[in-house]
C-alpha cells in the first residue's frame, strides 16, 4: 500500500495507476483518521466493489467551529496507515490544511435547506465545511465511488444531494452503522469517554432501538417514539441536543411515520465532553 503525502504525491500516484487506456473503478473513503471498525467497514466495502481503493485522512478545519475539538481531535498516522493496509487499501492519503486551503482560498459550498437543521443548529459551520471538503476531495481523487457511513446520516444525505444537484459522475455508497457490543455507535471521539460515560452514552442507542421496537408494535407517532428514547435515557448524564423524526431525504421533521415511505429517527447529545450522534431507520422500502 502506498502512503501518499499531499496533492502532488496523489497526482503522481494517479498517473501510475490510471492510464487513460485502462479505465478502472476507484473507491474513495474520506475520513478524518483515528480509524476504527466503522471506517474499516467502508474500506472493506470499497475493496469488494472497486479496482482501486484510496482512504483519505484529513482533519478538516473548516467543519469545526470555534471552541470545538479541532486541536484535540485524535491523530495517529502510523496506526491509520497500518489499519488501511490491513483491510486492503491501495493507498492512504494525508494532507496538511495549508495545502488544502492555501492563503486566499475563497470558495464556499452551501446546501442551506439540509444543513441548517439537526446538527447544523448547534454546529452552523459544520456542513458548509463538510460540503466544501467533500467536493474538493471528489475533484482531487475523481473516484467512481465514494463511501460514507450512515453514522453521519445528515452528512450522507447532504453529500448525496450535492452530487445529484451538480451532476457529479460517481456513485455515493452509504453503509450501515458499525456499533460496539453495547450498541454504542463506533466513533473516533468515544476514546474521550470514561467508563461511566460509556454507560450513559449507551442509552442513546438503546433508546433508538427501543423506539424501533415500539414502531414494530405499531407506534407511528413522533412524540410517542421520541418518548421511548427519552424514557430509556432516564436520569443518565446526557445533555440532549435533539431527538427528531425526519423524512429520509429532505430531513424535514415528521409527525408520524408513513410505513411505506419510512423515516429516520436521529439523536445528538453530549456525554462528559464528547458530542455523540446516532440514528436508526423506521419502516420504508428496505424494511
Ligand atoms: P469521520 O472520520 O468521523 O469523518 O468518518 C469518516 C466516515 O466514516 C464517514 O462517512 C462516517 O460516517 C463513517 N463512519 C464513522 N463512524 C462510523 C460507524 N460507526 N459506522 C459506519 N460508518 C462510520
Is the CB of 177 inside a 6 Å radius of any atom of ligand 1? yes
- Asked if 22 and 51 touch (Cβ cutoff 8 Å), the reply is no
The CA dihedral of 159, 65, 83, 45, to the nearest 10 degrees, is: -10
pLDDT digits (tens, 9 = 90+) for 96-125: 999 999 999 999 999 999 999 999 999 999
- Taking residues 233-253, what's their average pLDDT? 97
Taking only Cα atoms into account, the Rg of the chain, rounded to an integer number of angstroms, comes to: 19
Question: What percent of the chain stands above pLDDT 70?
Answer: 98
Tally of residues, the chain: 287
pLDDT at 166 over 60: yes
Q: Vertex 206, ends 201 and 209: CA angle to 5°?
A: 145
pLDDT band at 285 (very low <50, low <70, confident <90, very high): confident
pLDDT digits (tens, 9 = 90+) for 135-161: 999 999 999 999 999 999 999 999 999
Residues 118, 101: Cα–Cα separation, whole Å? 27
**Tally of helices (H runs) and strands (E runs) in the chain:** 10, 9
Give the three cell numbers for residue 192: 474521550
- Taking residues 225-250, what's their average pLDDT? 97
- Give one DSSP letter per residue of 68-113, joined into a string: SSTTTS---HHHHHHHHHHTT-SEEEE--HHHHS-TT-------HH
Q: What is the pLDDT of residue 19?
A: 60
Q: What is the pLDDT of residue 286?
A: 75
3-state helix, strand, coil in the chain (%, to 5): 40, 20, 35
Is the CB of 31 inside a 6 Å radius of any atom of ligand 1? yes
Number of Cβ within 10 Å of residue 132's Cβ equals 20
Instruction: Report the largest interatomic distance among the alpha carbons of the chain, rounded to a whole angstrom.
Output: 62
Is the CB of 130 inside a 6 Å radius of any atom of ligand 1? no
With a CB cutoff of 8 Å and minimum separation 6, the contacts of 84 are: 1, 35, 43, 55, 92
Is the CB of 129 inside a 6 Å radius of any atom of ligand 1? no
DSSP β-bridge partners for residue 245: 265
Atom nearest to 179 CA in ligand 1: 19
In order of their start, the domains of the chain are 2-175 (3.40.50.620), 188-280 (3.30.1300.10)
**Cα–Cα distances in Å, from 108 out to 59, 136, 138?**
18, 11, 15
pLDDT digits (tens, 9 = 90+) for 187-210: 989 999 999 999 999 999 999 999
DSSP state of 58: -
Of residues 36, 39, 139, 145, which has the active-site annotation? 39
Q: What is the pLDDT of residue 20?
A: 55
39 is catalytic: yes
Residues 71, 45: Cα–Cα separation, whole Å? 31
Atom nearest to 147 CA in ligand 1: 10
pTM of the model: 0.97
| CA–centroid distance, residue 152 to ligand 1 (Å) | 7
- Asked if 62 and 101 touch (Cβ cutoff 8 Å), the reply is yes
Amino acid at each position: 500500500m502506498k502512503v501518499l503525502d499531499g496533492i502532488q504525491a496523489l497526482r503522481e500516484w494517479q498517473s501510475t495507476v490510471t492510464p487513460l487506456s485502462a479505465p478502472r473503478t476507484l473507491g474513495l473513503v474520506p475520513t478524518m483518521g483515528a480509524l476504527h471498525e466503522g471506517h474499516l467497514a467502508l474500506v472493506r466495502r470499497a475493496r469488494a466493489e472497486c479496482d482501486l481503493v484510496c482512504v483519505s485522512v484529513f482533519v478538516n478545519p473548516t467543519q469545526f467551529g470555534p471552541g470545538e475539538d479541532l486541536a484535540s481531535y485524535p491523530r495517529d498516522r502510523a496506526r491509520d496507515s497500518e489499519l488501511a493496509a490491513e483491510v486492503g487499501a491501495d493507498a492512504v492519503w494525508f494532507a496538511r490544511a495549508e495545502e488544502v486551503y492555501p492563503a486566499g482560498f475563497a470558495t464556499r459550498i452551501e446546501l442551506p435547506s439540509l444543513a441548517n437543521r439537526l446538527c447544523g443548529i448547534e454546529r452552523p459551520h459544520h456542513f458548509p465545511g463538510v460540503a466544501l471538503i467533500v467536493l474538493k476531495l471528489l475533484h482531487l481523487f475523481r473516484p467512481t465511488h465514494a463511501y460514507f457511513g450512515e453514522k453521519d446520516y445528515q452528512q450522507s444525505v447532504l453529500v448525496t444531494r450535492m452530487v445529484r444537484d451538480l451532476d457529479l459522475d460517481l456513485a455515493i455508497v452509504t453503509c450501515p452503522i458499525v456499533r460496539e457490543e453495547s450498541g454504542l455507535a463506533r466513533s473516533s471521539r468515544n476514546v474521550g469517554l470514561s467508563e461511566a460515560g460509556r454507560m450513559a452514552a449507551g442509552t442513546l442507542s438503546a433508546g433508538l432501538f427501543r423506539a424501533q421496537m415500539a414502531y414494530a408494535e405499531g407506534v407511528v407517532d413522533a412524540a410517542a417514539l421520541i418518548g421511548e428514547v427519552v424514557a430509556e435515557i432516564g436520569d443518565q448524564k446526557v445533555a440532549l441536543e435533539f431527538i427528531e423524526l425526519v423524512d429520509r431525504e429532505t430531513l424535514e421533521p415528521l409527525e408520524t411515520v408513513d410505513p411505506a415511505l419510512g423515516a429516520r429517527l436521529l439523536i445528538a447529545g453530549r456525554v462528559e465532553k464528547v458530542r455523540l450522534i446516532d440514528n436508526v431507520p423506521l419502516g420504508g422500502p428496505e424494511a
